[in-house]
Amino acid sequence: MIRPHGSSELKPLCVPPGPAHQAGLERAAGMASVMASSAGASNAVMLGAGYFTPLGGYMNREDALSVARTMYTRDGLFWPVPILCLVDERPDVQAGNPVAIRDPNVPGNPVLAVIEAVEIETLSERDMDEICFEVYRTRDTGHPGVGEFLAQGRILLSGSLQVFNYSYFKTEFADTFRTAVQIRQAIEAAGWRTTVAFQTRNPMHRAHEELCRIAMARTGAQGCVVHMLLGKLKPGDIPAEVRDAAIRKMVECYFPPNTMMITGYGFDMLYAGPREAVLHAIFRQNMGATHFIIGRDHAGVDDYYGAFDAQTIFDDSVPQDALEIEIFRADHTAWSRKLEKVVMMREAPDHVTEDFVLLSGTRVREMLSAGISLPEEFSRPEVASILMDHYRNPGTG
């Protein structure tokens, strides 16, 4: 099986159930604590689940700036996005001592993790500005990722981490949330030698469905892991439970058994376009995928990035030997009226725009809200029904 990034084995930081876990929580109850931001908490979940192998904890200022500027840590590890714990209040603890990280997303704010020997630094406005510009390619606070990053605070906590749970992800998404360790084990148990990973923060319409088939056929993959983001999104995005139901219905109705694996991961969306695409590739390698689909405007938002910047970054900024996972580069995919099937648009040079069934996200939302069925060439009726129910009864999903 493909090796994890930068390591011969996965390095999950979550303490497994047992005496050490109980002792760790009892110890944490007696130490100084600080409330994490949602982003800091989701970073802890990803570290705990092994997705961020080989990192051993949160990055300090020097590593954060090094990663932002060069996509390498000071020790020479290729990494595209700083993994941070930023807070707005300094914890009542001396540097070098342990500090408990509390979870902002769970009632009662239980301890999520412990930084064993905390380093405490304050990022300057210039530091924050530089990280924003390098990672997000903009300083515009209207960008949802930039806005969330700047709202966390400027006090940076770093150090090696022990994680004690997976926040709300394991309880609210028990059938879907999986650690990198679990997905590797499932791929191995399925006997898949070649595995495609598909990232989604949206429901899967016919174009996405067919894109998975195309990628599997062209790579010779035995299976595809649909790996959906379960964390925080910008307002207006479809809730995870609705996406989950829609994707499960599509797989149940339209894919052969034992070819698709439906999973999710506990991370807040960054909307960082190209840099986030590289991060996505790293943690898909860590979970055992050999190929990763990157399509048009991957991890993008509005018009902050070019349509295929998330693909070209692998040519321009990712060294050839930095990653083992292979990128499957996809074009915009849509139903061809001429060919009566879904195709990648660049592979239909004799077509004009009118030859494709194309609907904007706004138009899709308008139709579903009005109870108007989506064209079957665009969305499977079973999927559209679930989405229509959500838009017409938003409080239930």
> Which residues belong to the active site?
201-202
Residue 289, classed as helix, strand or coil, is: coil
Contact (CB, 8 A) for 376 and 341: no
Burial class (CB in 10 A: 0-12, 13-18, 19+), 174: exposed
Place of tokens 């989950």: 244
Contact (CB, 8 A) for 144 and 271: yes
Helix ranges restricted to H, 331-392:
361-369, 381-392
Single-letter code of the amino acid located at 46: M
Residue 139, classed as helix, strand or coil, is: coil
Contact (CB, 8 A) for 143 and 273: no
Single-letter code of the amino acid located at 379: S
Contact (CB, 8 A) for 5 and 282: yes
Contacts of 129 (CB under 8 A, 6+ apart): 139
Q: Of 197, 230, 202, 200, which Cα lies nearest the Cα of 212?
A: 197
Single-letter code of the amino acid located at 284: R
How many residues would you count in the chain?
Answer: 397
C-alpha span between 80 and 366 (Å, rounded): 37
Tell me: cis bond preceding 54? Omega within 30 of 0 counts. Answer: yes
Buried b (16+ CB within 10 A) or exposed e, 16-26: eeeeeeeebbe
Residue 25, classed as helix, strand or coil, is: helix
Contact (CB, 8 A) for 87 and 118: no
